[in-house]
Amino acid sequence: MIETMKKYTFVVLASGYDAFLTQLREAGVVHITERGEAMADNAELQSILERVNEVERLMKQGAPDQLIRECNDIEQRMEATQREQSRMEVWGSFSQEQLAALRGAGYELHFYSCPVAKFQQEWGIALAQAKGRQYFVSLAVVENAEVVAETLNDKCSEELAKDVEALRALRVAAQTRIDAWWVANERKLQEELKELHRQIDWKRVSLSTDSVAEGTLRVLEGFCPQDQSQALNAKLDTLSCYYEVEKPRPEDDTPIKLKNNKFTSLFECLTGMYGWPNYGEFDPTPILGPFFLLFFSLCIGDAGYGLLLIIVGLLIAKGKLKIEMFDGMGPIIAALGVGSTIVGYLMGGFFGIDLFAAEWFPEWGKAIMFKSMGDVEGKIAGYDVMMVLALAIGVVHICLAMTIKCITYTRRFGWKENISAWGWLILILGGLLTAVLAMTGCVGPMATNIMLIVIGGISALAIFIFRQLGRNPLINIGAGLWDTYGMATGILGDVLSYIRLYALGLAGGMLGMAFNQLGGMVLGETPNVGTWVAFIVIVTFGHVLNLLMACLGAFVHPLRLTFVEYFKNSGYQGNGKLYKPFKK
């Protein structure tokens, strides 16, 4: 849920403004309304921001540019020398003095290479073969299309190897200087970065202040959570300032502070991935959390994989397993594992084994599985229970989204602006309720017809006639027809999107079963140590690979169902800003 905010307007004498800001920062509960245009044009603030970027860059690379360039230059020289050493290995050991002596004696050596199969003995003396080429030396010039003239380095391979070792020592020395600089300056940079951020916060607050009464007064606006406003008021009463407290208006840029229980707060990071709610919106996290957990569990569809996720989540949470990309996500991974274990069991999957089909699994354990349900075992009206369940979840999810939209929009904009939305909600929910009552025999045919006529009549009036009061009825009818086309195609497509929950769970289960069967084929009827080792390797590798792919799909697709189908039908905007108080 979104905490209630109070809007504050402060009026302070210019002479005591800095002291007031100091006390306000000490309180640490007021989110200041910033003025972006003033900050963008302030040279001092831009200079501080540039220094922040420079410090962050230094902390990221761990040394000044000069030391980094020096180390990189040595690294490049070493790599080039290593390549040259590798190239010169085929020519063996020699010295320039030896070559000069031969030239003085009238022998001019020529160095060549050609494909091994094309080499002719009369061309010269073969020295070495490498990568399918023959390297040779000749006293005469060899002219052949297959022969390539080679150039020698001034140093042989052995001498170049010594150069590589010398450069490696220089690189170690350069890295040592970098490490020493980092040890000497790491804490200084961290302290400087903290101080720069304090200066930025102070400057932003200063630039968000209005100067009135010929510069003698300063006016500042901010927001404070309602549960902390009483303590703030008590502090403000001791200061030399005037302040007003009021409810935020719709046009105010009110920040939001989420307040959810331990379970729901696990999923706030997913809400933030799309965008935080506006102050007047409904916090989607209490709905997003349980449904995302359900969607993820259906996509995994295996109790064994769920148990592994619980173990991994607990290890990450306790710091026993460190994976940078999952840092701080141990609790949510464990929660997703619990959901996957429960739903996976209901689906009858355990490391690719179909528990429902297993003869050794007790019948009482199968009784609560989804496959035991339906008019025919595992079937509802001829369709797989899991597919029907996925579509039913989609209907519930979208209907819930439409209900939230009607309630939220009516609260924000008034009922006159949302008559058509209520009409569609009455039509869809009323129609579904009537269909359920009719199929279960709770109402007869006559009552069903009456209910449909009443629901259809009320919905038609809201959608086509009274959708916008005061407007030409013909325009309302035209807008209603266009809206009907959009709803008919959109709602159907949205509901069908939830089949992916069934498809992903089915695909993961079939792939896990395939790895089990492959391992069983390798194991054979007369297993030995070798086949057991092969079986363990195949099954372990297969299930780890399947789990990783299943987790990827189980994260992306439920997120898509939430961000597209649910948020679209709930009218969620998600362009709010988080509450960030001005504090030390």
- Cα–Cα dist 341/313, whole Å: 13
Where residue 61 falls among pLDDT bands split at 50, 70, 90?
confident
- Residue 336: per-residue pLDDT: 92
Count CA within 13 A, CB hemisphere, residue 27. 27
The Cα 199–Cα 186 span in angstroms is 20
Contact 352, 512 (CB under 8 A): yes
As a whole number of angstroms, the distance between CA 378 and CA 370 comes to: 7
Over residues 154-175, the pLDDT tens digits come to 899 999 999 999 999 999 999 9
Q: How does strand 148-149 pair with strand 210-212?
A: unpaired
* Mean pLDDT to the nearest integer, 480-509: 82
* Rounded Cα distance, 491 and 394, in Å: 10
Q: What is the pLDDT of residues 519-553, one digit of tens each?
A: 888 888 788 888 888 888 998 999 999 899 999 99
At 79, is the pLDDT very low, low, confident or very high (cuts 50, 70, 90)?
very high
- Taking 80 as the threshold, does the pLDDT of residue 406 lie above it? yes
DSSP string, 84-109: HHHHHGGG-S--HHHHHHHHHTT---
Q: What span, in angstroms and rounded, lies between the C-alpha atoms of 455 and 83?
A: 81
Query: Binning pLDDT at 50, 70 and 90, where does residue 582 land?
Result: confident
Q: How large is the average pLDDT for residues 62-69? A: 89
Q: How far apart are CA 98 and CA 109, in angstroms?
A: 11
Encode pLDDT of 375-391 as tens digits.
Answer: 666 677 777 888 888 88
- What are 292's two structure tokens? 């995302």
The order of strands in the sheet holding 110-115 is 125-130, 133-138, 110-115, 148-149
Residue 291's pLDDT is what? 93
Q: What average pLDDT does range 387-408 have in this prediction?
A: 88
At 470 the pLDDT is 67
What pLDDT does residue 132 have? Answer: 92
pLDDT confidence band for 40 (50 / 70 / 90): low
Mean pLDDT of 317-331: 83
The answer on pLDDT for 37 being more than 70 is: no
Q: What is the mean pLDDT of residues 302-331?
A: 87
Q: Write down the pLDDT at residue 120.
A: 92
For the residues 47-68, what does the mean pLDDT come to?
Answer: 88
pLDDT of residue 375: 63
pLDDT for residue 485 is more than 80: no
pLDDT of 554 higher than 80? yes
Average pLDDT over residues 309-317: 91
Domain boundaries, the chain: 5-64+176-246, 94-155, 262-570
- pTM listed for this prediction: 0.75
Decide if pLDDT at 232 tops 80.
yes
Question: What would the mean pLDDT of 98-126 be, rounded to a whole number?
Answer: 90
- Predicted confidence at residue 164, as pLDDT, reads 94
Residue 224: pLDDT band (50, 70, 90) is very high
DSSP symbol at 241: -
pLDDT band at 76 (very low <50, low <70, confident <90, very high): very high
- Give first-to-last CA distance, the chain, whole Å: 27
Of residues 428 and 181, more confidently modeled: 181
pLDDT of residue 374: 67
What mean pLDDT is reported for the chain?
Answer: 86
Mean pLDDT of 201-210: 80
SS3 content of the chain, % helix, strand, coil (to 5): 65, 10, 25
Report pLDDT for 36.
Answer: 62
Q: Is the pLDDT of residue 419 over 90?
A: no
> Distance between CA atoms of 317 and 295, rounded to whole angstroms?
23
pLDDT (mean) for 551-567 = 90
Q: CA–CA distance from 487 to each of 94, 185, 416, 483 (Å)?
A: 84, 62, 20, 6
Q: What is the pLDDT of residue 39?
A: 63
Amino acid 315 reads: L
Q: How far apart are CA 476 and CA 419, in angstroms?
A: 12
